[in-house]
Structure 1
Amino acid sequence: MNRVPVDPERPAPASRSPFRGPEVASPRVERARSLSARTNGLPSLNRLAELAAQLLGTGSGQVSVIADRQRVMGGSGLAASTVGAESDASESLCLLPVETGEPVAIPDTRDDARSAGLPPVVAGAAASYLGVPLRSGGHVVGSLCVFDTAARSWTADDVRLLEQLAEPALAELELAALESTYEEDRVVWQLAVDAAGVGAFDWDLATGQLRWDERLLEVFGTDRASFGGTIDAFNALVHPGDRDRVGAALDRAIATCGGYAAEYRVTRPDGTLRWVAARGHAIAGADGTAVRVVGAAYDTTAVREGEARVARTLEAMPTAFYHLDRDWRFTYANPEARRLLGGISSDPVGHVVWELFPATVGSDFERYYRGAVESGRPRSFEAYYPPPLDGWFEVRCWPTPDGLSVYFIEVTERRVAQDVLARAAGRAELLADVTRTLTDTLEADEAVERLAQILVPRLGDWCVVTQVDGRLTDEPLVDRTWRRRLRDVGWWHVDPAKRSLVEQYAQVRIPALTNGSMVARALAGRESVVVQEGATEHILGVLEPGPATEACRELGPAAAVVVPLPGRGRTAGLLTVFRGPDRPSFAPEDLVMLSEVADRAGLALDNATLYAGQRDIAEGLQRSLLTAPPRIEHLDVVVRYEPAAEAAQVGGDWYDAFQQPAADSLTLVIGDVIGHDARAAAAMGQVRTLLRGIAVTTEGGPAEVLHRVDAALATLRVDTMATAVMARLEQAPEQRAAGSATLRWSSAGHPPPVVVVDGVARALWCGDPNPMLGLLTEASVASSRSESSVELPPGSLLLLYTDGLVERRGEVLDTGLDRLCTALAELLAEDPTTEELCDRLMARMLPGWTEDDIALVAVRLRG
């Protein structure tokens, strides 16, 4: 029953019915939809609803079908106005017997949890309710119910009576649906016959009368008055060339009481020619002989003309087409197909494709052809057929009711062009990878290792990259030291299991090389040396016996090439590429490609070698300016220096630690000259020397020494600026006995020292900020610098450092200081030595790539 009468102008609310689900409906929902769609407002269902209400003494009765939504099929009383309307099933009492599949009797719906709150109950239309399910085809599709505005009790007899009335209600629904189906099928059948233009015939063999319906008369272009109604009248309309064949087909059907089928031409009275297809059957009489032939016929002229047009189109088509029957036999091939396949057969019709073209067996041709037939879906692919066709073909095939149709064109030229483009793109990509990889690093060993991995397996199965140290003579074979200038620094193999063997070969190869080796010849001639076949035997013949020959024999190269890597006026290295027996030897384009790779790799390797030399010199210069810390019995003094990863790895950071015997103290300095180049390193040497000399000769405190350095820089006109912290650890006799010390320090614009006392790390800021060294002019040098002091208990740690340890791009200094203090406290909790502490701190604080050099000094007071 409905919650409220449905307003046809208002959209129905979205259903909350549990039967509303995915797009594919359940069988129950489909059955209910069918009954609902094919029956509408049956008077018999209204009468049944009224009878049920009268017999059970209620005010209303209702027949409902519930699919996604509820539809009222019949009703009386309050339900009469909702017949034919749809509503939300979840808001109706009628959903209860549909969900449970059992009768539902509710004496007072207002006190029942299942029904209280539903709109019909709230509106007072259904104070009492009794409903039984309607089952169709094994599915619950709806309900028959009665309800009243007053509460009442229901008996078992009431339930049985309503169930008995449910049977005729369901019968009425199913009968109406069946009648509707039959009518629809009849209309559809008639429409199909009309659309197809099918006419019927009946030939009485006893009387000779041949009856045609109006549609068949229309097909033959005659009328009932003109048609004689005999088999002779029919034969007169059949084209003379087809009469014997049609007559023979009719005679066979009559003789066997079997089927009749024929397609023939008809010459109509107006002179036009039409094609007609006929199907029929001879019917036997009581004695078993045929007494009549009945059947149908229809006009197939359009189909015939279409087939003729298709045939003409296929014959004139510039692309190849053929058809295979279900036995894979050629039934048709157009002229272009016969031309392309002429290398095997000028006329393939009648031959089985697998026999005429044996190379198709097991190939893409067979796989796609059979796949199309088995799946019923078209396929398209490109495949190569070997000589005598020796070409690439683009093929499209699609299944037909009687076999497989195939369209194809030769695309050999396109494939050749594509291969050329692909090889060109591959070369460009390889050269780009080589350039990018080699320019990403200035480490020679890393560069050649990357180069080896790029070339394998693109150009070879394995390779070895050799670096040449220094410049060889114009005739390197005369110089007996040429082997000592070679180092195999990179290697790779496509097979991971053989990489260790290649590494072993690279380690022992160079000492075993003779003057006749490929490597020696490539060095002497400064051009590639190629062995296209028998490379193993050739190499074994120019190697000294030993581990190298054993490794070469096990690796078994079939082809090899050695390519010089040209640098700036010298040979920077050699590239040796090997191919195994399962791979073709080197084509001319491969050798050109290797030459181009060598040109780029040689320059990159030369750059890396030059950079390494400059870096080693610069780092040696930098470290020569940084002296080792003093050894003091009651103090641990540790220094560290990490050069920048940029340029020549020189900069202006420095540290210093030295004793001042007169003051019985240890002086510590950390500083950073502005700049990151050789000029900064030179300026750092000047500032460091000035500060150290003034400190030692004056015995002044930190602030006084920095003040004097300012004056010296101004007097000597040293054009540089630097930050620095100078600190002095002083120990009176009683402090030394206790292991404590007094720290005095002064800062010239430098990050503050950090101390760790009793496991707590903190930064020591030095009062008012003081300017950097070298910033004061000669006139303002008289201004004094501030100085601070603090007592350090036994076990304390003091750390001086440069800004590269704590500063990061985009961060404020406080963030870096907090990170440093946290790291120091956590590392000291592990109780490392001072040396270990500095190493772990550097590893933890530094990023993988440092843009600034870093120096630090750590001092720990022994308890």
Structure 2
Amino acid sequence: MPDHPPTSAPAPDADRDAAVQRLLASVGNPALERLAQLASRLLAAPSSQVSLLPHVPAAAGTTDDGSVAGSTGARTILQDQVCSVTARLGEPLVVTDARDDARLRDLAVVADGQVRAYLGVPLVGKDGHVVGALCVYDDHVRSWSTDDVLVLTDLAASAVAELELSALAVEYEADRMRWQLAVTAGEVGSFDWDLVTGSLAWDDELHAIFGIPRGEFGGTIEAFSAAVHPDDRARVSEALQAAIDGVTQYTAEYRVLHPGGAVRWVKAKGMALPGPDGTAVRVLGAAYDTTTEREADARISRVLETMQTAFFLLDDDWRFSYVNAEAERVLGRTRGEMLGGVIWELFPLSVGSAFEEHYRGAAESGVARSFEAYYPPPLDGWYEVRAHPGPDGLSVYFHDITDRRRLEEQRAAALADADAATARLALLTTVGDDLTATLDTEYAVGRLARHVVRHFGSWALVTLWDEDEQLRDIAGYHADPARRQAVARYAQLRLGSLSPQSFLHRALRSGEPVVIPGATAAVVPLLEGEARDVFAGLAPRTGYALPMRARGRTVGAITLFLDDGHPDLGEDDLSLLVQVADRAGLALDNARLYEGQRRMAETLQRALLSAPAQPDDLEVAVRYVPAARAAQVGGDWYDAFLQPSGSTVVVIGDVMGHDRHAAAVMSQVRTLLRGIAATGGGTPAEVLRSLDAALDTLRVDAMATAVVGRLEQTPEERDAGVTRFRWTNAGHLPPLLVAPDGTVRELRAGRPELVLGVTPGSDRTDAEVEVPRGSTVVLYTDGLVERRGTHLQDGIDALAELVAGLVPEARARATGSATLDAGYLADAVLERGVAGEAPDDDIALLVVHLGLQGERAEPGA
């Protein structure tokens, strides 16, 4: 540590220096060493120290070789550099790896590996000055817990209190200062007691230790006894008498009363010497003052007694040699019961437990052990334990963590319940998603069998009432892949051979779950033929038949079987399985209702759309796909018919709205347009102008988009193999023109025009394009290209790209005078354009292909 405090620390002053010097004068190396040893034991650290300001080497009491008293483990003065950082901070310094700490990594003791992990707390006096630091450290990386910091802080507070108390003693007790100087010099007094004459002689040092001047001591054993503390006299006298009687060694530690009233501790050792007859005639010995050691032990004891951590010390014979107050409380025994007793006898349930394993392991290896363990009644508690071996025996520090462990168990149980609830909810959600994600009932039910087996049992079958009110086993699944074929075969055979008195039929009739204990023995008699043999081979132990119900009727059933080794379902699992069956029943019933309504809507819609005209030189294909929502007929329509001139008119349109009203209005608009075009013979623009006027006159409340096109051809154009396509567009999507070479382009002309039904007399114009024979025109409604979150033009571009990609396939399927199969192209566009799913909006599609004419037709046309 530096000779002076760091510049960032409070500036030293004379008052503080004087206080520190008094502290230094009051504390000897034994006290410092015991505090350091206690810190090492409590925190299981190999090294520790107490450093005091302002001059650490002097404060810590260095020896000639540079070692420092008041520490444990290998340590040099240089390590006080680390403590100076703690003193400068004025707060705990917690370091897991000093090499990664900017405050410490440049210090020499860190660079050469003496210090890696470090924990230090400042020693703060009552006046607020930092007077030093108490720290522990390790030459290996280590993490310090919050409890470690609190324990070291507690020790630091006790250390400061004892230091200040000692400083007061220096000021008011001159005799104690003289004793400290004598101990520093290593003074030991001697005595000689002549048992024959009764004379007792002391040397000068012993007079000093007892505080009795030579001229004031009586020189008898009575004078000595008068100086001994009254509470210790009988014990000292008995020890002396025992040595005399046995002509053996004498050892005693006792208190003496100085004439001034001070009380000192003295330890004496001697030997009774025999005379010619073998009896003792003389006692010679020495004595020295042990007050400092006693006070240090008392300080340590006070710290241990006030600690919230339970502590006891076991000697080498596994006897309790110290027990603090917290240990008495936690262990439920008094000190009187434990001190001197063997731990294995007082706590027999610890034998063979983790306690014995770790205590003996720490004592044998010399390495501290930390563990958590449970001790049965009468303690009935969980304990967090540190067992630290040392020269005095095994120091054991422990906390009662029973409440924490029980809370953890409660939390674990709560988490398990939450996980189970989450798993149940996840299963119900997954089943619901599977059953509503597709309109393919049989596929959805097949996945239901897998989910049921994975969560509840060994194998399962799912049975449905079909449209003809016949039962069908529609899906089966076994957890063991090797047995799935057997389950599939049983599903094929079961219903044809199963008795009407079976458990399945009972569940279907009652609408209640049926449990089948001893399933193999119970079901085999109800089967016939091969089904009986297959079921016997599967050999389930328990079965469950659960009806799938919806809207007061049974729509099917789930039959679940459990093989040997699979436990029966508990109440929660059975309840969950019933919920799965109910949810499946409702989803399946909804799918059936939807399918029926969808078929009804589609039938109604198609009834409003007549078959298109099919001129000899044209191939017209029309398709209609209803929206995914049940019973939502729409306003999309197509048409293809001949005008009196012989020209073919093609129409695609969409009345705004998706309900029965829209379908009815669509029929009116379509009929009006067909009548106007067929009787008037006007161009597409003229037809739409007349239609606008008719809608207004007839008060038809409708708004619609439409493309009306006419395929025209003069005799000259027929000879040239050319046709003109004349069209007008009332706010609809642009038609696509497929050239004979397979290229695809949009047909757009001029500015966009208003939709029908907005303003009578709206301006309508015709556009015209020459198309060679072998071309194809594609008309469509927005259900084919409009997708949520996607720009409409992106959908049109994708359709054009799809059509271009399908042209080679459609050409390969052409026959006769056609160079392209219009029907195949229409079907392929729908199949790939909506990816096999029912669209959000209905779709009308018209594909017209211009085949070859006359001599241009291929041979065989």
Q: TM-score range by the shorter chain?
A: 0.5 to 0.7
Q: Distance in 1 between matches of 2:484 and 2:317?
A: 53
| Contact 2:188-2:205 within 8 A present in 1 as well | no
User: Are residue 302 (structure 1) and residue 305 (structure 2) matched?
Assistant: no
| Contact 1:465-1:488 within 8 A present in 2 as well | yes
Q: Taking structure 1 as reference, are residues 334 and 509 closer, same or farther at Cα in structure 2, changes over 3 Å only?
A: farther
| Contact 1:460-1:578 within 8 A present in 2 as well | yes
The amino acid of 1:745's aligned partner reads W
| Contact 1:368-1:379 within 8 A present in 2 as well | no
C-alpha deviation, 1:540, in angstroms: 3.1
C-alpha deviation, 1:553, in angstroms: 3.5
| Contact 1:722-1:774 within 8 A present in 2 as well | yes
| Structure 2 counterpart of 1:434 | 428
Secondary structure (helix, strand or coil) at the match of 1:586 reads coil
- Structure 2: 5+ residue stretches without partners: 1-6, 8-55, 57-110, 113-158, 167-179, 194-200, 272-283, 334-342, 389-393, 813-820, 853-861
The one of 531, 541, 548 equivalent to 1:565 is: 548
Secondary structure (helix, strand or coil) at the match of 2:702 reads coil
C-alpha deviation, 1:207, in angstroms: 8.0
C-alpha deviation, 1:638, in angstroms: 3.7
Q: Distance in 1 between matches of 2:533 and 2:591?
A: 32
Secondary structure (helix, strand or coil) at the match of 1:539 reads helix
Q: Please give the residue correspondences for 1:704-723 in structure 2 after superposition, counting only pairs within 5 Å.
A: 704-714=686-696, 716-723=698-705
The amino acid of 1:679's aligned partner reads H
Q: Distance in 2 between matches of 1:309 and 1:591?
A: 57
1:66-85, Cα deviation, whole Å (9 max, x unpaired): xxxxxxxxxxxxxxxxxxxx
Secondary structure (helix, strand or coil) at the match of 1:511 reads helix
C-alpha deviation, 1:376, in angstroms: 6.0
| Structure 1 counterpart of 2:565 | 582
| Contact 1:462-1:577 within 8 A present in 2 as well | yes
Q: Which moved more, 1:241-250 or 1:577-586?
A: 241-250
User: Are residue 520 (structure 1) and residue 513 (structure 2) matched?
Assistant: no
Q: Distance in 2 between matches of 1:243 and 1:298?
A: 18
| Contact 1:330-1:351 within 8 A present in 2 as well | no
| Structure 1 counterpart of 2:173 | none
User: Are residue 641 (structure 1) and residue 624 (structure 2) matched?
Assistant: yes
Q: Taking structure 1 as reference, are residues 583 and 631 closer, same or farther at Cα in structure 2, changes over 3 Å only?
A: same
| Structure 1 counterpart of 2:727 | 745
Kindly tell me the number of residue pairs found equivalent between the two proteins: 620
| Structure 1 counterpart of 2:842 | 853
User: Are residue 729 (structure 1) and residue 711 (structure 2) matched?
Assistant: yes
Q: Which moved more, 1:603-612 or 1:202-211?
A: 202-211
Q: Taking structure 1 as reference, are residues 350 and 844 closer, same or farther at Cα in structure 2, changes over 3 Å only?
A: same
C-alpha deviation, 1:509, in angstroms: 3.6
Q: Taking structure 1 as reference, are residues 294 and 625 closer, same or farther at Cα in structure 2, changes over 3 Å only?
A: farther
Q: Distance in 2 between matches of 1:499 and 1:279?
A: 92
1:549-580, Cα deviation, whole Å (9 max, x unpaired): 526733x4333222223321212332333334
| Structure 2 counterpart of 1:616 | 599
Q: Taking structure 1 as reference, are residues 438 and 428 closer, same or farther at Cα in structure 2, changes over 3 Å only?
A: same
Q: Taking structure 1 as reference, are residues 814 and 432 closer, same or farther at Cα in structure 2, changes over 3 Å only?
A: closer
| Contact 1:671-1:802 within 8 A present in 2 as well | yes
The one of 485, 496, 503 equivalent to 1:511 is: 496
Q: TM-score, normalised by structure 2?
A: 0.56
Q: Distance in 1 between matches of 2:379 and 2:636?
A: 69
| Structure 2 counterpart of 1:679 | 661
- Structure 1: 5+ residue stretches without partners: 1-7, 9-37, 39-137, 140-190, 283-289, 315-320, 340-346, 471-480
C-alpha deviation, 1:592, in angstroms: 3.5
Q: Please give the residue correspondences for 1:75-224 in structure 2 after superposition, counting only pairs within 5 Å.
A: 223=211
The one of 527, 535, 540 equivalent to 1:543 is: 527
| Contact 2:512-2:546 within 8 A present in 1 as well | yes
1:678-701, Cα deviation, whole Å (9 max, x unpaired): 332333334334444554455554
C-alpha deviation, 1:794, in angstroms: 3.9
Q: Distance in 1 between matches of 2:691 and 2:187?
A: 131
The amino acid of 2:724's aligned partner reads T
C-alpha deviation, 1:744, in angstroms: 1.6
Q: Taking structure 1 as reference, are residues 210 and 618 closer, same or farther at Cα in structure 2, changes over 3 Å only?
A: farther
C-alpha deviation, 1:743, in angstroms: 0.7
Q: Taking structure 1 as reference, are residues 707 and 612 closer, same or farther at Cα in structure 2, changes over 3 Å only?
A: same
C-alpha deviation, 1:752, in angstroms: 1.8
The amino acid of 1:788's aligned partner reads A
| Contact 2:267-2:288 within 8 A present in 1 as well | no
Secondary structure (helix, strand or coil) at the match of 1:852 reads coil
| Contact 1:211-1:229 within 8 A present in 2 as well | no
Q: Taking structure 1 as reference, are residues 229 and 737 closer, same or farther at Cα in structure 2, changes over 3 Å only?
A: farther
Q: Taking structure 1 as reference, are residues 291 and 366 closer, same or farther at Cα in structure 2, changes over 3 Å only?
A: closer
Q: TM-score, normalised by structure 1?
A: 0.56
1:169-226, Cα deviation, whole Å (9 max, x unpaired): xxxxxxxxxxxxxxxxxxxxxx99x979995656588989999999x96xxxx64759
The amino acid of 1:854's aligned partner reads I
| Structure 2 counterpart of 1:667 | 649
Q: Distance in 2 between matches of 1:641 and 1:231?
A: 132
C-alpha deviation, 1:400, in angstroms: 2.1
| Contact 1:445-1:489 within 8 A present in 2 as well | yes
C-alpha deviation, 1:437, in angstroms: 5.1
Q: Distance in 2 between matches of 1:328 and 1:784?
A: 112
| Contact 2:684-2:727 within 8 A present in 1 as well | yes
Q: Taking structure 1 as reference, are residues 615 and 272 closer, same or farther at Cα in structure 2, changes over 3 Å only?
A: farther
Q: Please give the residue correspondences for 1:387-398 in structure 2 after superposition, counting only pairs within 5 Å.
A: 395-398=382-385
1:485-536, Cα deviation, whole Å (9 max, x unpaired): 33344555556676666555545443343223221111222211113x4233
The amino acid of 1:409's aligned partner reads T
Q: Distance in 1 between matches of 2:559 and 2:531?
A: 19
Q: Taking structure 1 as reference, are residues 755 and 681 closer, same or farther at Cα in structure 2, changes over 3 Å only?
A: same
1:425-457, Cα deviation, whole Å (9 max, x unpaired): 744762575268527547344654565555554
Q: Distance in 2 between matches of 1:557 and 1:522?
A: 19
User: Are residue 792 (structure 1) and residue 774 (structure 2) matched?
Assistant: no
Q: Taking structure 1 as reference, are residues 831 and 455 closer, same or farther at Cα in structure 2, changes over 3 Å only?
A: closer
1:146-171, Cα deviation, whole Å (9 max, x unpaired): xxxxxxxxxxxxxxxxxxxxxxxxxx
Q: Distance in 2 between matches of 1:244 and 1:840?
A: 119
Q: Distance in 1 between matches of 2:419 and 2:724?
A: 71
